[in-house]
Structure 1
Amino acid sequence: MLDEIDSRLLDSLQRDATVTAEALGAKLGLSASQAGRRRQRLEDQGYILGYRARLDPARLGLHVQGFVQVHMASHDPQAARAFARLVATRPDIVSAWTLTGDADYLLRVFCDDLAGLNRLIHEVLLPHPAVARVHSQIVMDQLKPDAPLPT
């Protein structure tokens, strides 16, 4: 179970994972060693899955963000595994979800430009034997950036 200090610690790390044990302890009213032990415990218990830097897609030349709904032609387990392997190998597909409703999968993608998105759809996704059709949506603007999880 998480106590109030654990929740505050997780919230702080989500906002800045580079915070030192000293700064974290000061923020939480703990010593640096207590804050470090709590952090380690939360890592060991699987609350903290890892740390990473958030990068600016535009600075990397990724000017098109999109969401692609994928409708499967076959729901055979082998076909689903083959599609999952394809998704896992594509760096331009940054996240993927299985869904209830009309579409089977929702993919979040980043591409250099519209031609890159077109290639991803027409040369990678649609030729896959398990895919029946796709529906893409291009992000015009992101009103709220990816936010920390509520703790």
Structure 2
Amino acid sequence: MAGVIFSFYDFASLIDLNIGISDRLDENRSESFTILFCDFSNISHALVESNIQTLLRTSDSIVHYEDYYFFVMPYTDRYGCGFVKKMVQDIFGKPIQTAAICYPSDGENSAELLESLHAEVKKIHKIDLDCLYSAANREP
């Protein structure tokens, strides 16, 4: 098992790709994919890098910006995301600040999903993810 790493500046395009695949394959429009945010600012980068890919499937994608990691997990709803959150907490042995949003319930396009993620993280953890605005605008 290993997630695939993408550039932060391809984040919106990655979301658009997952939306396209979901729309083509998921006729009932249930929660087609989840984006999970994790703040690893209290864990060494080397420890994160050596462990995080083992938690995810090869169909999952990883995007990171500094100490913030975003996992795009196809065919994962909120319930399934809860298992991934627990695995993340268990592998590092400490609480990790996380937040999750799902397509299409939290947004119909990449801009709406990134805005929903920003609002959710700010509401729960008081973290301002202004970096998501550059991803939404696809600015390198």
TM-score normalised per structure 1: 0.43
Greater relative CO, 1 or 2 (CA 8 Å, sep 6+): 2
TM-score normalised per structure 2: 0.45
Higher helix proportion, which one?
A: 2
Q: Which has the greater radius of gyration?
A: 1
